[in-house]
C-alpha cells in the first residue's frame, strides 16, 4: 500500500492526524486494522469500551485503535485522540453502519439505570452525521472499497515553540509570587511549557500530578530539573511541617486532582502553576475555571491557542470537537426572550445546544453526560429561547416509584438498585424509605447564559417544570454542592433542605446537599419530617457548616422514640451507615450506662479511624464498623431487650 504510506508521510509533513472508521464485522475490522498496522510503523495503542484513558494523560503516541464494536466510552475516545502526534491515524472499529444505531452499547451500563446495555440511536446518529459531513474522515464499510481523500496540501509544518508559548515562558520566569493557571485544549504544549520553566528556573521547581506516568512530556522538557511528588504524599509532608523547599509548585493535569487537595496545597508554596485542559474528559474540565479559580487569591489566567503536537486545523481535532461538542457556545448580547419549550429526541440540534450551554456552566459536565442526555430513558428537558438560540435550560431525571418492600430494603442497606440518586439517598442515608416510593423528578442540571443571569429566568424555568409535573409527580428534588449562593437560589424556588453530607466532596470541595420541593400532601408531610430530622441531626453532630451559616437553628434532642429504635436497629442489625443515625445514637449514649468505647470515641471524642483501630486492635475500617454495630446491638439490648428483639426481627425480615 504505497499510496497509504505516502499519504501518511504527507499528513506528518502537514501536521495532520486523521480518523479511519471501519464499519463491519469484528473479524473484518481486525483484518483491515492488521493490514494498516503492517504498512505503517508506530505505537498502535489499542483501547476498547471497558478501558479508561485517564492513565494516558500527558503522553504521546503514533497511531491508535479504538475498538467500539461493543460500545463507545466517549471520554476515553476523546482522550485517546488527544495523545496522537502529527502523522497519526486513529482507527475506530464499529458495527455495520446500518445496524450500528440499534446495537446495544455496553458503555450505556455506566450511565443508565438498567442492568442490560441499551441501543443509543441519538448519539450514534449524531456521530454518523459528524463523520459524513467531514470530507477528511475515511469511512470504510465492509463490502466496499477504501478511498483515501485528497492528499494534504504540501505545506511544511514546523513543530517549533510558538511565539505565544515563549511569551508566556518569559512572563513566568519573571513572575512574582502568586497563582498562575494555564488552560488550553489538548496538544497546545502546556506540559512542555511547565517543563521548560523547570529547566530554566535558577532555583527548584517541584512537580505534582495525578500520576507520575502522566508527566512524561513535562519530564522530557525539564530534564535534570525534574522533581516529582505525588499529591497525597506532598500534602501529607506539608501537613507534618515538612514542606519541600521549592520556588515553584508545578501541578500538571490539575483538573484531575480533587479540588480540596489543590486548595490545601496552594497555601504552602509562594508560586504555583496549574496546567490543565478545559475539555471535559480530564477531571472536572471547565469547572476548574468556573469553580476552583474563583477561590484563588492573586491569580493570573493564561492560555495557549496554537497546537504544538499537530498543526492548525488538524482534521482529527476538528471532527472530535464536533462529536464531543467541545466548542464554547457563542457569547450572546443581552437579548429578548422569545419563548420556552420542551425538548425531545425529535429536536437533536436543540438538545446539543442545551448540552453546550450546560458544559459552559457546570464543572462536572463531560462527554458521559452527552451520552446520557441523548439516550438515557426517563428524562425531561425544557429550554428558554431567544429566537433560535437556547439561552437557558433545565435537565430533569425521573426518580422514585419503588415498591414499599424494595424501598425498605434500600433503607436497611440490603439493596442498591441503579439510579434514583436523591430518592435512594433519602431512603438509605436520610432514613426515609417513603421518599423512594413517591414519584419525583430530580433537577440534574440547570443553566442560564451569562448575559441573562440574575433576571429570574432560572426560577421561571422551575415554575414551568413544576406546572408540568404537578399532575403526576409528588416532589421535585435537587442534589448540589452547598454554597450559600446556590442555596439562596433553591430556597427562592421553594425548595426545602432535607439532607446535608458529613464530608466535603472531592470534586467540588463543598458539602453535598439535597433539597426537595413538595407538590402533594404526602410530599409536604414527608418534607416537614425530613427537615425536622435534619435539624436534630445537625445539632447532634455539630456539623461545621450548620454552625457557620445554617439558615435555621439546629436542634439537639435526647428523646428516644419509636423512629429512633427503627433507625438504630437498621444500623445494628442491617447495613445502614453510622452517619445516618448520629442523632439517635447520641440519644442512646446519653441514656446508656455501658462503656461503649468505640461509639463514644467516634461520636463524643471525635477519634479517628486509625486511632480507634490502634487502641482496640482492629484491622481497618471494616472491622471497626462491625465492632460499632456490635456495640449498638449491646446498648439496645441492655436498654430494652424486648424492644430490641422486636426491631432486630423487623429489619432482618427485609433481607
pLDDT in tens, 312-326: 889 999 999 999 998
Answer whether residue 16 shows pLDDT above 80: yes
Q: What's the Cα-to-Cα distance from 374 to each of 69, 79, 481, 574, rounded to whole Å? A: 20, 21, 25, 38
Rounded to whole angstroms, the Cα distance separating 573 from 311 reads 63
Answer yes or no: are the C-beta atoms of 227 and 206 closer than 8 Å: yes
Mean pLDDT, residues 35-58 taken together: 86
Do 57 and 168 lie in a common domain? no
Domain boundary among 108, 141, 174: 141
Decide which of 160 and 207 is more confident. Answer: 207
Answer whether residue 333 shows pLDDT above 90: no
Do 93 and 183 lie in a common domain? no
Domain boundary among 284, 304, 324: 304
Answer yes or no: are the C-beta atoms of 432 and 412 closer than 8 Å: no
Q: Is residue 450 part of a domain?
A: no
Decide which of 346 and 410 is more confident. Answer: 410
User: How high is the pLDDT of residue 456?
Assistant: 94
Q: Is residue 537 part of a domain?
A: no
Q: List, in order, residues 6 or more apart from 3 with CB less than 8 Å away.
A: 148
User: How high is the pLDDT of residue 265?
Assistant: 94
3-class SS of residue 403: coil
Q: Is 419 left (phi over 0), alpha (psi -120 to 50) or beta?
A: left
Grid cell of 357 as nine digits: 450551554
Instruction: Compute CA 354 distance to the chain's CA centroid, rounded to the nearest angstrom.
Output: 18
pLDDT confidence tier of residue 541, bands split at 50, 70 and 90:
low
How do residues 447-505 score in pLDDT, each as one tens digit? Answer: 998 888 889 999 999 999 999 999 999 999 999 988 888 999 999 999 999 998 877 77
Rounded to whole angstroms, the Cα distance separating 443 from 476 reads 7
User: How high is the pLDDT of residue 547?
Assistant: 44
How do residues 504-523 score in pLDDT, each as one tens digit? Answer: 776 666 788 999 999 999 99
Domain count, the chain: 3
CATH value at residue 41: 3.40.50.11040
Grid cell of 329 as nine digits: 457556545
Q: Is residue 315 part of a domain?
A: no
Instruction: Compute CA 286 distance to the chain's CA centroid, rounded to the nearest angstrom.
Output: 11
CATH value at residue 643: 1.20.120.890
Grid cell of 109 as nine digits: 451500563
Mean pLDDT, residues 20-32 taken together: 98
Q: Is residue 427 part of a domain?
A: no
The Cβ-side half-sphere exposure at 289, using a 13 Å CA radius, reads 19
Do 208 and 112 lie in a common domain? no
Answer whether residue 396 shows pLDDT above 50: yes
Do 111 and 219 lie in a common domain? no
CATH value at residue 184: 3.40.50.300
Do 112 and 184 lie in a common domain? no
Answer yes or no: are the C-beta atoms of 493 and 462 closer than 8 Å: yes
- The torsion defined by the Cα of 16, 19, 20 and 21, in degrees rounded to 10, comes to -170
Do 181 and 132 lie in a common domain? no
What is the radius of gyration, based on Cα positions, of the chain? 28
Question: What would the DSSP string read from start to end of 359-391?
Answer: HHH-TT--HHHHHHHHH-SSEEEEEEEETTEEE
Instruction: Give the bridge partners for 446, in sequence order.
Output: 394
Q: Whose CA is closest to 327, among 279, 388, 395, 277?
A: 279
Domain boundary among 304, 325, 341: 304
Answer whether residue 283 shows pLDDT above 50: no
Q: Is residue 154 part of a domain?
A: no
3-state helix, strand, coil in the chain (%, to 5): 45, 20, 35
Domain extent, residue 252, equals 163-304
How do residues 337-371 score in pLDDT, each as one tens digit? Answer: 889 899 988 889 999 999 999 887 776 678 899 99
Do 169 and 299 lie in a common domain? yes
Answer yes or no: are the C-beta atoms of 436 and 426 closer than 8 Å: yes
Q: Is residue 64 part of a domain?
A: yes
Rounded to whole angstroms, the Cα distance separating 654 from 181 reads 53
Answer whether residue 414 shows pLDDT above 90: yes
Do 124 and 170 lie in a common domain? no
Rounded to whole angstroms, the Cα distance separating 616 from 598 reads 8
How do residues 84-96 score in pLDDT, each as one tens digit? Answer: 999 999 999 999 9
Grid cell of 255 as nine digits: 483538573
Rounded to whole angstroms, the Cα distance separating 232 from 221 reads 24
Identify the weakest region by mean pLDDT among 41-45, 217-221, 539-543. 539-543
Instruction: Give the bridge partners for 248, in sequence order.
Output: 205
The bridge status of strand 18-23 relative to strand 64-67 is unpaired
Do 125 and 206 lie in a common domain? no
Mean pLDDT, residues 429-438 taken together: 93
3-class SS of residue 139: strand
Rounded to whole angstroms, the Cα distance separating 628 from 624 reads 6
3-class SS of residue 185: coil
pTM, 2 dp = 0.85
3-class SS of residue 503: strand
Instruction: Give the bridge partners for 46, in sequence order.
Output: 65
How do residues 49-104 score in pLDDT, each as one tens digit? Answer: 877 777 776 688 999 999 999 999 998 999 899 899 999 999 999 999 999 999 99
Answer yes or no: are the C-beta atoms of 505 and 481 closer than 8 Å: yes
Do 23 and 110 lie in a common domain? yes
Residue 548, judged by CB atoms within 10 A of its CB (0-12, 13-18, 19+), counts as exposed
Answer yes or no: are the C-beta atoms of 337 and 391 closer than 8 Å: yes
Q: Is residue 219 part of a domain?
A: yes
Answer yes or no: are the C-beta atoms of 312 and 14 closer than 8 Å: no
Answer whether residue 524 shows pLDDT above 60: yes
User: How high is the pLDDT of residue 150?
Assistant: 85
pLDDT confidence tier of residue 539, bands split at 50, 70 and 90:
low
Compute the C-alpha angle 441/446/450, nearest 5°: 170
Q: Is residue 87 part of a domain?
A: yes
pLDDT confidence tier of residue 546, bands split at 50, 70 and 90:
low
Do 82 and 215 lie in a common domain? no
Do 177 and 281 lie in a common domain? yes
Amino acid at each position: 500500500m504505497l499510496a497509504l504510506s505516502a499519504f501518511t508521510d504527507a499528513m506528518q509533513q502537514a501536521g495532520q492526524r486523521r480518523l479511519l472508521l471501519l464499519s463491519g464485522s469484528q473479524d473484518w475490522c481486525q483484518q483491515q486494522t492488521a493490514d494498516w498496522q503492517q504498512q505503517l510503523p508506530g505505537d498502535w495503542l489499542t483501547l476498547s469500551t471497558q478501558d479508561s484513558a485517564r492513565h494516558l494523560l500527558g503522553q504521546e503516541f503514533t497511531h491508535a485503535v479504538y475498538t467500539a464494536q461493543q460500545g463507545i466510552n466517549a471520554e476515553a475516545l476523546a482522550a485517546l485522540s488527544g495523545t496522537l502526534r502529527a502523522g497519526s491515524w486513529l482507527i475506530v472499529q464499529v458495527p455495520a453502519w446500518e445496524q450500528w444505531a440499534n446495537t446495544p452499547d455496553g458503555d450505556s451500563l455506566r450511565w443508565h439505570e438498567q442492568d442490560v446495555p441499551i441501543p443509543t440511536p441519538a448519539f450514534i446518529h449524531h456521530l454518523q452525521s459528524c463523520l459524513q459531513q467531514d470530507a477528511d474522515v475515511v469511512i470504510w464499510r465492509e463490502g466496499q472499497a477504501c478511498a483515501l481523500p485528497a492528499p494534504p496540501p504540501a505545506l511544511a509544518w514546523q513543530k517549533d515553540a510558538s511565539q505565544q508559548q515563549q511569551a508566556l515562558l518569559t512572563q513566568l520566569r519573571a513572575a512574582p509570587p502568586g497563582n498562575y493557571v494555564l488552560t488550553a485544549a489538548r496538544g497546545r504544549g502546556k506540559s512542555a511549557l511547565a517543563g521548560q520553566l523547570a529547566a530554566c528556573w535558577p532555583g527548584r521547581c517541584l512537580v505534582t500530578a495525578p500520576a507520575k506516568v502522566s508527566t512524561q512530556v513535562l519530564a522530557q522538557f525539564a530534564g535534570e530539573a525534574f522533581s516529582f511528588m505525588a499529591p497525597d504524599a506532598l500534602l501529607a509532608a506539608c501537613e507534618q511541617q515538612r514542606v519541600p523547599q521549592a520556588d515553584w509548585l508545578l501541578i500538571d493535569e490539575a483538573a484531575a486532582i480533587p479540588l480540596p487537595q489543590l486548595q490545601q496545597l496552594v497555601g504552602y508554596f509562594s508560586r504555583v502553576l496549574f496546567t490543565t485542559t478545559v475539555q471535559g474528559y480530564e477531571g472536572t474540565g471547565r469547572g476548574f475555571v468556573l469553580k476552583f479559580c474563583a477561590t484563588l487569591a492573586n491569580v493570573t489566567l493564561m492560555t495557549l491557542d496554537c497546537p504544538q503536537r499537530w498543526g492548525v486545523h488538524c482534521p482529527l481535532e476538528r471532527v472530535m470537537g464536533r462529536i464531543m461538542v467541545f466548542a464554547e457556545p457563542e457569547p450572546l448580547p443581552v437579548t429578548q426572550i422569545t419563548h420556552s419549550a420542551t425538548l425531545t429526541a425529535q429536536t437533536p440540534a436543540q438538545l446539543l445546544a442545551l448540552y453546550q450551554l450546560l458544559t459552559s456552566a457546570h464543572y462536572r459536565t463531560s462527554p458521559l453526560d452527552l451520552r446520557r442526555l441523548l439516550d438515557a430513558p426517563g428524562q425531561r428537558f425544557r429550554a428558554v429561547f431567544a429566537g433560535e438560540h437556547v439561552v437557558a435550560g433545565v435537565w430533569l431525571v425521573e426518580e422514585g416509584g419503588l415498591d414499599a418492600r424494595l424501598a425498605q430494603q434500600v433503607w436497611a442497606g440490603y439493596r442498591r438498585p441503579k439510579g434514583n440518586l436523591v430518592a435512594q439517598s433519602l431512603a438509605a442515608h436520610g432514613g426515609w424509605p417513603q421518599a423512594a416510593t413517591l414519584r419525583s423528578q430530580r433537577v440534574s442540571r440547570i443553566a442560564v447564559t451569562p448575559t441573562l443571569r440574575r433576571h429570574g429566568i432560572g426560577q421561571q424555568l422551575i415554575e414551568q417544570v413544576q406546572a408540568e409535573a404537578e399532575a403526576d409527580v409528588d416532589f421535585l428534588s435537587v442534589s448540589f454542592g452547598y454554597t450559600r449562593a446556590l442555596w439562596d437560589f433553591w430556597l427562592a424556588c421553594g425548595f426545602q433542605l432535607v439532607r446535608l453530607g458529613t464530608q466535603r466532596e472531592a470534586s467540588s470541595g463543598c458539602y453535598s446537599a439535597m433539597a426537595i420541593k413538595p407538590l402533594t400532601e404526602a410530599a409536604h408531610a414527608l418534607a416537614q419530617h425530613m427537615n425536622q430530622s435534619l435539624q436534630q441531626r445537625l445539632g447532634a453532630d455539630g456539623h461545621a457548616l450548620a454552625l457557620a451559616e445554617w439558615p435555621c437553628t439546629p436542634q439537639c434532642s435526647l428523646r428516644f422514640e419509636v423512629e429512633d429504635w427503627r433507625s438504630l436497629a437498621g444500623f445494628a442489625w442491617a447495613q445502614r451507615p453510622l452517619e445516618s443515625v448520629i442523632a439517635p445514637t447520641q440519644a442512646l449514649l446519653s441514656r446508656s450506662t455501658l462503656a461503649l468505647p468505640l461509639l463514644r470515641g467516634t461520636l463524643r471524642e471525635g477519634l479517628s479511624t486509625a486511632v480507634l483501630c490502634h487502641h482496640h486492635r482492629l484491622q481497618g475500617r471494616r472491622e471497626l464498623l462491625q465492632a460499632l454495630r456490635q456495640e449498638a446491638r449491646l446498648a439496645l439490648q441492655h436498654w430494652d431487650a424486648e424492644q430490641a428483639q422486636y426491631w432486630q426481627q423487623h429489619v432482618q425480615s427485609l433481607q
